Structure 1
Amino acid sequence: MVKSNSGNELFQLPNVHYENNSDYKFDDLNEGLFIIRIFAELQSLMHDEFFNYEFFIFSNHQIDSLPESIHFKSNKKKVLFYFSDEFGKDPSPYSNHYFAIFKAYIGDSFDVKNVFPIQIGYVKDVPSFLPVKPISKRKYNIFFRGNLNKNRIDLYRNLSPLKFLIPSKNILHAELYRKILLRLKDDFSKYYVNSIIIFNSSFKSGFSTEKYGKILSESKIVLCPKGYDMTECFRHFEAMRAGCVIISEKLPNTEFYKGSPIIEVDNWKEGLSISKKLLNDPAQLQEIQDKMLVWWENKCSEKATALYVKEKIESILS
């Protein structure tokens, strides 16, 4: 069945449950704090109406795994929040078991009226620093530190002076290839002045989360290459919250990205070129930062996400 009490305050609410067959304990979820804050805002927005719903939280990476709440019987309207699945599975085949489903990493590749994308949040231990520093006061020009996964070889190649000798990911992208590249060079911080650009061998194997958050708060531009399977990654929202200018590969056409100030590029040759031009235009950088902070507050913050959930639920009722 479904856990209704995991020791976390969120699950002291009688109508909020964490699925037994999730891949992680809730307290170990990277996005756990984000989820807790969404529900706090959602309860505040919905008032007593909040308790007319049965909410289920599911965190799972497995291809064939389904939420156990499919079989949960309730007189209340069931709502599923599905996180962590970077394969981007479409939950539409079992959407008839729920009043609504909110799914992270789903992009825009579905066509069911009660299934909605939800933003993926941020790593719980990455701090945010307030007040947000204006661009002109920031120490670092360009920042990226992250895993050299198979999808980030294009970024690596374009940073490397040996790029014409490095095969593309389509020719060679085995684990051995990644290890060779990391041994060859992992630090490209000198590509731009006053910058930090370093590739790691795995997720969260670089700076501590405290230091990572601090550097974000001191960075003008953050590079956001594609994650292991999906373009979306925690870095997008951590950088947005920190007031950084974000350069990213193409993102899904969802409400969290469509019309946003995130600069989307087709490849990293273009991305690095745009970065150089922006560094020579402080006024434009500041303008983008201002828009980024407004976008975070109005579209992607915990309160904005809770309001989005409330409005989607109401759209089904109307």
Structure 2
Amino acid sequence: MTVINALANQYYLYIRRGQKPVPWNIYDTNPPINFGLTTYFGKIFQAIEKSFQLSGLVFYVTWDEIDELPSYGQNVVVFVLGDEWYRIPKYTHKVKAVFKCIGTHPILGCNPLVKPSLLNLLTLIQFLRILVVCLPGFVNYHWHKFKNLLLGKGAITPIYDIPLGYNNSKDMLIKDIEKRLYDAYFSGSVVHVQYPLWSLKYWLGTPKTLARKLMLSSVNKFKKKNPDFKVELSITGGFRNRTVEDERSYCEIMMDTKICLVPRGTSFETTRLFEAMKYGCIVVTEALPSRWYLDGAPVIKIKDWQDLEGILGQLLKNKQLMRELHEESLNWWKNQCSEAIVAEYIVEKLYANIPLWKKHIAGVSMSLTPP
């Protein structure tokens, strides 16, 4: 297998079991496999390389493969970017560390008993389904944890939460909030999977589709009552359906947006949240999980999209509050979610788990077992 000698560590893109991992030059702007988040994580890995603190590690970057890897060992680090089932990988106890977007702890995000509705009922059903899917990995992880404790082997591999970052984001000069053209903006899909006629999802919908339909209904009511405000809606078939021109336009509109509407996707945490904060937009979103990079985030959380009319009205009339939230979004991205900060977090966690006798001033030397 080809090794990229210019790098202190080896990086591989690994889609699914049975396929060979693809060597990844993290400085390549056109990676051999594009997960959609490779630009963000490519920059994170570049920052790790520049830190000079870690070397000899094998990084596997996968979308949602949680069953097996091409190799294992205390020099193997895994990044799971797209698993929306919150699963704990089966191989966790065989590697040095696992970093996971979206995490391993799902949230319900509503109270169906206090506020019964079709949306909250479907959200509860989805939450219970996720718990069932999560259960085998949870049991496997804690069994190995217990076994290591009995055998005196110490703690097993931690699983660290990391932000999704952006799917596509151009680096542009930040535009002053008051000079932005769009008062509010949403771009995304409502229904990106066409379910068959006999599927319950065809008739009832999903939490994602229902939430977004409610949001669009409220936005359209606001537009009708407030024609002087410029509100832009761009309904797509899903982010994978966008062309390069679409992405360029999306980034430019985001930079020209004051308030970005961020409804849930399949999970509550979406790339749109991070893209909006990077551009300094004011974010209106739903419930968010507790994560080190989300706790205290300067976002406006909405429990019911039918309340959106009032929220937009109050925000757009308060220029001082909007400016403050704009600055806080920019600062939050820079200090909590930017590539450099996430790279520091990863290095800190990996370096903390290396025995003292292996640490030295220039970095870390570890035995390398090729995949």
With the length of structure 1 as denominator, give the TM-score of the two structures.
0.77
How far, CA to CA, are the matches of 1:81 and 1:190 in structure 2?
Answer: 42
Shift of 1:158: 5.0
Structure with larger Rg: 2
Letter in 2 for 1:129: M
| Maintained 8 Å contact 1:108/1:253 | no
Matched, 1:199 2:235: yes
Which residue does 1:16 correspond to in 2? 11
Q: 1:30 to 1:188 in 2, by over 3 A?
A: farther
- Aligned partners of 2:6, 2:164: CA distance in 1, in Å? 20
Q: Secondary structure at the match of 2:76?
A: strand
Q: Give SS of 1:27's match.
A: coil
Is it true that 1:129 corresponds to 2:167 in the alignment? no
Q: 1:190 aligns with which of 223, 227, 234?
A: 223
- Measured in 1, the distance between the counterparts of 2:291 and 2:311 equals 24
Q: What's the CA shift for 1:208?
A: 0.4
Aligned runs of 1:52-201 on 2, under 5 Å?
52-60=56-64, 66-69=67-70, 72-74=71-73, 76-91=74-89, 93-106=90-103, 108=105, 114-124=158-168, 126-130=169-173, 132-149=174-191, 150=206, 151-160=208-217, 190-191=223-224, 193-201=229-237
Q: Hey, what's the Cα distance between the residues in 2 that align with 1:20 and 1:232?
A: 22
Aligned counterparts, 1:226-241, within 5 A: 226-227=264-265, 229-241=266-278
CA drift of 1:26 comes to: 4.6
**1:168-199 deviation digits (Å, cap 9, x = unpaired):** xxxxxxxxxxxxxxxxxx97893552110243
Which residue identity does 1:147 align to in structure 2? S
* Structure 1 stretch displaced more, 205-214 or 109-118: 109-118
After superposition, what is the alpha-carbon deviation per residue over 1:89-111, rounded to whole angstroms, capped at 9, x for unaligned?
222x4311111100112154578
Distance 1:10 1:239 in 2: 36
Structure 1 residue 300: deviation in Å?
A: 0.4
Name the structure 1 match of 2:252: 214
Contact 2:211 2:263 in 1 (8 A): no
Q: Could you say which residue in structure 2 is the equivalent of 1:32?
A: 38
Change (3 A) 1:95 1:11: farther
Amino acid paired to 1:224: V
2:281 paired residue number: 244
**Cα 1:274–1:14 shift into 2, 3 Å:** same
Residue identity in the other structure for 1:308 = Y
CA distance in 2, matches of 1:148, 1:101: 32
For 1:73 and 1:257, locate their aligned partners in 2 and report how far apart those are by CA, in whole Å. 31
Contact 1:39 1:306 in 2 (8 A): yes
Task: Give the stretch that moved more between structures: 265-274 or 277-286.
Answer: 265-274
> 1:291 pairs with 328, 334, 357, which one?
328
- Counterparts in 2 of 1:278 and 1:187: CA distance versus 1, 3 Å: closer
Distance of aligned partners of 1:11 and 1:239 in 2 relative to their CA distance in 1, 3 Å threshold: farther
Displacement of 1:155? 3.8
Per-residue CA distance 1:262-315 (angstroms, 9 max, x = gap): 222222123442222111101101101111111111110100110111122234
Query: Structure 1 residues 256, 195: CA separation in 2 closer, same or farther (over 3 Å shift)?
Result: same
Q: Deviations over 1:69-96 (max 9, x none)?
A: 4xx155x5221111122232222x4311
Distance of aligned partners of 1:271 and 1:16 in 2 relative to their CA distance in 1, 3 Å threshold: same
> Structure 1 residues 52 and 159, CA, compared in 2 at 3 Å: closer, same or farther?
closer
Contact 1:248 1:262 (8 Å CA) reproduced = yes
Write the letter of the residue equivalent to 2:46. A
Distance verdict in 2 for CA 1:11–1:243, change over 3 Å: farther
Q: TM-score, normalised by structure 2?
A: 0.66
Shift in CA distance, 10/235, structure 1 to aligned 2, threshold 3 Å: farther
How many pairs are equivalent? 277
Partner of 2:340: 303
Question: Bigger CA drift: 298-307 or 205-214?
Answer: 205-214
Q: Which segments of 5 or more consecutive residues in structure 1 lack a partner in the other structure?
A: 162-185
| C-alpha contact 1:4 1:17 (8 A) present in aligned 2 | no
